Structure 1
Amino acid sequence: MPKGEMDTVTAETVTQRVVLFDFDGVLIHGDAFYLFMRERYKRAPWRVLLALLCFPLLLLQLPFSRRLPVRTLVRIALLGLGEKRYQAAVNAFAAVLVQRSRQFCRDGLQALRRHQVAGDRVIVVTGCEHTLVSGILQQLGLTQLEVLASQLRRGWFGMRPLWHNVGRRKVEKLAQHGLTAWQVAYGDSMYDAPMLKLAAEAVLVNGTPTLCKKIEKALGRAVTRVEWF
């Protein structure tokens, strides 16, 4: 490659902005993994029965951590699913979900596409499970995206939680990805505060005045507020 062209490529790489998007509440209305879990229980009533039988265990877990009962319910929903069956179930669910146009945040998706057209490096950083969010984004036609998300691992009786990518864990995941600061970050909750704090521009999506004040207090500076539909 001629020196002039190499210098141009290097300059573009240096000046390329890094833009982070949360997924749930920013690009989609609601919680995608919760919707998937609900569908799993809806399609298999025996899972509902098993969850009811485990209700005493869930009550015992609750005082120690709110996450423990949730993890138990997730494991019941994924019982019997290996990696291939899980991938197939997620793909089928994603194909159906994207048909519900009102489920998605039109303004958020348009903003993401504008960043892509501008040549920004766009990364979706989410607490949603990786295979699920990747499948949904592909179904939406959103390609050339980096995705940092929660992960599952294979267990004896089905897939089970491995890494929940929320709060400070998003920043940890980004650091593992080689990033410690970014130009723009879009989030919708206090869980996104650690990610927003390291952004040159922090954008709060559909935040209430109370939430905005809490976020700004946590960040120690003002944020940009947007109302997306």
Structure 2
Amino acid sequence: MIRTTYPPPREDAPLVVFDFDHTLYDGDSGSHLFAWLIRRNPLRVLAALLATPVLGPMVAFLPTRRWGISGYAWIGSFGLHAARDFDRVIDRYVARHREQIAARLLPVALEVFARHRAQGDRVVVATGAPPELARAILSFVAHEDVPVVGTAVGPRLGAVIATRHCHNEEKVRMLRERGYAGIEMAYSDSSADLPLLLAAREPVVVNPKRSRVEFFRRALPPGTPILNWGCRDRAGEPPRPS
């Protein structure tokens, strides 16, 4: 892997925020992690199957999504007792699935990501996934030094669950708490990130679900780009040749 040295961003440089799942990564990285955690043990598989009639609808419904995800995280991480233990499991998962994970990183997205860094912009990743997971995956492409704001996890009842979900309006609050205010550009696929996109001077929708395209056109300023960066089952205009 060729390491690129990027100029350190100036304090007054434009702030550019990237979502991670379905934006830089083709899929839901957290779901892939928790599915692997659950599949490692037949009892966890059984527990997940029994809990899915309750947890599945909770994940699908925005106000209860944090609790649904935490339920699956609890099942998958039972036996872990600290966030650092969970981080070590994440690193093990990433190392064992390096080729499959690397294949999900979207080349067009990474090109845009690197271009912003080369320009000296302040680039940050804001994701609903655990931050250690995004950092470990970004290390494949020499971007592990980029700040990541993600879902906080902590111990609960013999496992590790999400204690603060970096999602929807909470994502914007978590960014501001860490000093990332005055967003110049934001890239995301998700209607749950509408607060983030509205907070940006230049929102860019990438890889949206086909059913959400009209929603974005109504909710965001006229002319907001709606692009596809390589997710085949998603909508958006293909990138123009550079």
TM bucket by the smaller chain? 0.7 to 0.9
Q: Which residue of 1 aligns with 2:131?
A: 130
Residue 145 of structure 2 aligns to a residue whose secondary structure is coil
Q: Which residue of 1 aligns with 2:160?
A: 159
Structure 1 alignment gaps of length 5 or more: 1-10
Q: How many residues align?
A: 218
Q: For residues 120-165 of structure 1, what are the alpha-carbon distances to aligned partners after superposition, in whole Å with 9 as ceiling and x for unaligned? A: 1100011111222122222432133111111101234021210111
Q: Which residue of 2 aligns with 1:13?
A: 11
Residues 66, 165 of structure 2: 8 Å contact kept: no
1:186 is the counterpart of 2:187: yes
- Aligned residue type for 1:175: R
Distance 1:57 1:35, change over 3 A: closer
Residues 135, 144 of structure 2: 8 Å contact kept: no
Q: Which residue of 1 aligns with 2:215?
A: 214
User: 1:135 & 1:59 partners in 2: Cα distance?
Assistant: 27
User: 1:61 & 1:138 partners in 2: Cα distance?
Assistant: 32
Q: Which residue of 1 aligns with 2:90?
A: 90
Q: What does 1:13-162 correspond to in 2, within 5 Å?
A: 13-14=11-12, 16-54=13-51, 65=64, 67-83=66-82, 84-100=84-100, 101-162=102-163
Residue 152 of structure 1 aligns to a residue whose secondary structure is strand
Residues 26, 106 of structure 2: 8 Å contact kept: yes
Q: Which residue of 1 aligns with 2:233?
A: none
Structure 2 alignment gaps of length 5 or more: 1-8, 231-242
Residues 71, 161 of structure 2: 8 Å contact kept: no
Q: Which residue of 2 aligns with 1:199?
A: 200
The percent identity for this pair of structures is: 27
User: 2:160 & 2:173 partners in 1: Cα distance?
Assistant: 23
Deviation at 1:34, TM superposition (A): 0.3
Deviation at 1:199, TM superposition (A): 1.2
User: 1:184 & 1:60 partners in 2: Cα distance?
Assistant: 32
Distance 1:225 1:57, change over 3 A: closer
Q: Which residue of 1 aligns with 2:227?
A: 226
User: 1:48 & 1:208 partners in 2: Cα distance?
Assistant: 29
Deviation at 1:96, TM superposition (A): 3.2
Q: For residues 63-115 of structure 1, what are the alpha-carbon distances to aligned partners after superposition, in whole Å with 9 as ceiling and x for unaligned? A: 99455344222211110013343222100112233312431211111111111
Larger Rg: 1
Q: Which residue of 2 aligns with 1:7?
A: none
RMSD: 2.7
Deviation at 1:179, TM superposition (A): 3.0
Residues 98, 140 of structure 1: 8 Å contact kept: no
User: 2:10 & 2:64 partners in 1: Cα distance?
Assistant: 46
Residues 95, 139 of structure 1: 8 Å contact kept: no
**Which is richer in strand?**
1
User: 1:21 & 1:97 partners in 2: Cα distance?
Assistant: 23
Q: Which residue of 1 aligns with 2:4?
A: none
